[in-house]
Chains A and B, each alone.
Chain A
Amino acid sequence: MAQVTTAEQKSIFSLFNFIALIIVGIGLYLTYLRFAGGLAAVTNLSDYNPWGIWISFDLLCGVALAAGGYVTSSAVYLFGMKKYHSAVRPAILTGFLGYALVFLAINYDVGRPWRLPYPLIVQQGTTSVLFEVGLCVATYLTVLFVEFSPAAMEWLGLKRARNLVVKLTILLTIFGVVLSTMHQSSLGALFLIAPSKLHPLWYSPYIPVYFFITSVVAGLSMVIFESTLSHRFFAYKMDETHFKEADGVTLGFGKAASFVLAGYFAIKVMGISADNNWHYLKTGYGSWYLVELLGFVALPSLLYAIGVRVKSLTLIKWTSVLAVLGVILNRFNVCLIAFNWHLPSAERYFPHWMEIGISVFIVMIGLILYRFIVTRMPILYEHPDYKDAH
Chain B
Amino acid sequence: MGWVGAVGLSTTFVKSGAAATTKHFTGYPNSFAILHDITLCVGCRTCEAACNKVNELPQPDKPFTDLSVLETKRRTTTKAFTVVNKYDNSVPSETPIFYKKQCNHCLEPACASACFVRAFTKTKTGAVIYDSSVCVGCRYCMVACPFEIPTYEYDQALTPRIRKCTMCYPRVVEGQLPGCVEACPLEALSFGKRENIIKIARERIRKYPDRYVDHIYGEQEMGGTNWMYLSGVPFKDLGMREDLGITPAPQLTAGALSSVPIIVGLWPVLLAGLYGISKRKEKIAKTEQEQAVASALDKEKSATSQIEEKS
Residues of A participating in the B interface, judged by any CB pair closer than 8 Å:
35-41, 43, 45-48, 50-51, 74, 77-80, 109-113, 115-116, 118-119, 122-132, 134-136, 139, 170, 173-175, 177-179, 181-182, 185-186, 189-197, 205, 208
Contact = CB atoms under 8 A, between A and B. Distances in A.
A208 B152 contact: no
Nearest to B157: A38
DSSP majority for the A interface? helix
Contacts of A41: 155, 157
A341 B287 CA distance: 62
Given A74-B271, A178-B267, A193 B154 contact: no
Given A80-B279, A111-B160, A131-B116, A193 B137 contact: no
B27 interface: no
Contact of B249 (A118, A136, A179, A193): A193
Given A48-B148, A111-B136, A174-B272, A192 B256 contact: yes
B143 interface: yes
Interface residues of B, number: 69
B7 A126 contact: yes
Contact of A110 (B119, B138, B144, B271): B138
Contacts of A43: 154
Interface stretch (B8-16, B58-66, B170-178, B206-214): B8-16
B142 interface: yes
Given A126-B6, A193-B144, 12 more contacts: A36-B157, A38-B155, A45-B152, A47-B75, A47-B148, A48-B75, A50-B152, A79-B278, A111-B156, A127-B10, A130-B114, A182-B260
Interface string B269-288: 00110110011011000000
B255 interface: yes
Given A111-B152, A119-B116, A78 B274 contact: yes
B118 interface: yes
Contact of B256 (A46, A110, A208): A208
Contact of B7 (A122, A135, A178): A135
Contacts of A196: 146, 241, 243-244
Contact of A128 (B113, B252, B263, B278): B113
Contacts of A77: 275
Q: Which 7 A-B pairs have the closest CB atoms?
A: A111-B137, A80-B278, A50-B139, A40-B154, A131-B116, A50-B142, A111-B160
> Which of A48, A125, A193, A194: most chain B CB closer than 10 A?
A193
Contacts of B77: 47
Interface in B68-101: 75-77
B151 A47 contact: yes
> Which of B116, B153, B244, B275: most chain A CB closer than 10 A?
B116
B302 interface: no
B4 A192 contact: no
A115 B136 contact: yes
Interface in B112-147: 112-119, 134-140, 142-144, 146
